[in-house]
Amino acid sequence: MAAYEALYEQSCRAPNCLTKVDEKSLVGPNIVQEATEKVEIIRKRLQATQSRQKSYANNRRRDLEFAMGDHVFLKVSPMKGLMRFGIRGKLALRFIGPFEILERVGAIAYQLALPPQLASVHNVFHVSMLRKYERDASHVIEWQDLEQQKDTSYIEKPVRILDRKEHVLRTKIIPLVKILWLHHGADEAS
């Protein structure tokens, strides 16, 4: 509902004339009282709409709290420069870690113990960027050293050529090469 419709309970006729042809304009305290009543109606409708939207939004939300010494995963997909840790494209990692929580900063932020490779990233994160890590003795974490630059990006270097083949078209031959990159496994070779 548009603001004009909510206030005047009718659609806008024309921007230059808001009154009807035979209608006289109200003058005096009546117009102030009527405007005050309509503003109150609009406030009540906005309050009802906001509470309804809040109930929909908070339906799946839950308050997360972590203790010092807990381990958490860090969400990296929305960060610029940290989009690719390993796999490219839509199979890229969304979380990295686990990292230990050093302390709670404020009501909804935590300071993490990040490795030296992530020294250029600020180590305080909002609780929405963290996921709890349940310790498992059989879980082995392989952390690869990444040579990062100041803007938290890294350079991919080719290690060796795994395969060569030629794709034959009607008029030309296209050579194709499969390369193993430094921070990727053989199954991710392109």
pLDDT in tens, 159-175: 888 899 999 999 999 99
Give the residue-averaged pLDDT of 93-97.
80
Question: Are 90 and 125 within one domain?
Answer: yes
Question: Are 76 and 53 within one domain?
Answer: no
pLDDT at 59 over 90: no
Domain contains 145: no
Most distant CA pair in the chain: distance in Å?
89
Question: Are 87 and 126 within one domain?
Answer: yes
Tell me which long-range contacts 94-98 makes (C-beta under 8 A, separation of at least 24): 95/131, 97/71, 97/72, 97/73, 97/133, 98/71, 98/72, 98/73, 98/133, 98/141
Domain contains 33: yes
Does residue 118 or residue 51 have the better pLDDT? 51
* Total number of domains in the chain: 3
Domain contains 17: yes
Question: Are 53 and 89 within one domain?
Answer: no
The boundaries of the domain holding residue 7 are 3-57
Please name the helix (run of DSSP H) or strand (run of DSSP E) that holds residue 43, with its range, or none: helix 29-57
Question: Are 42 and 75 within one domain?
Answer: no
Question: Are 126 and 77 within one domain?
Answer: yes
Distance in angstroms (rounded) separating the CA atoms of residues 95 and 103: 20
Q: Which of 17-26, 85-94, 121-130, 145-154 has the least mean pLDDT?
A: 17-26
| 3-state secondary structure at position 12 | coil
pLDDT at 47 over 90: yes
Question: Are 11 and 37 within one domain?
Answer: yes
Query: What's the token pair of residue 32?
Result: 């102030």
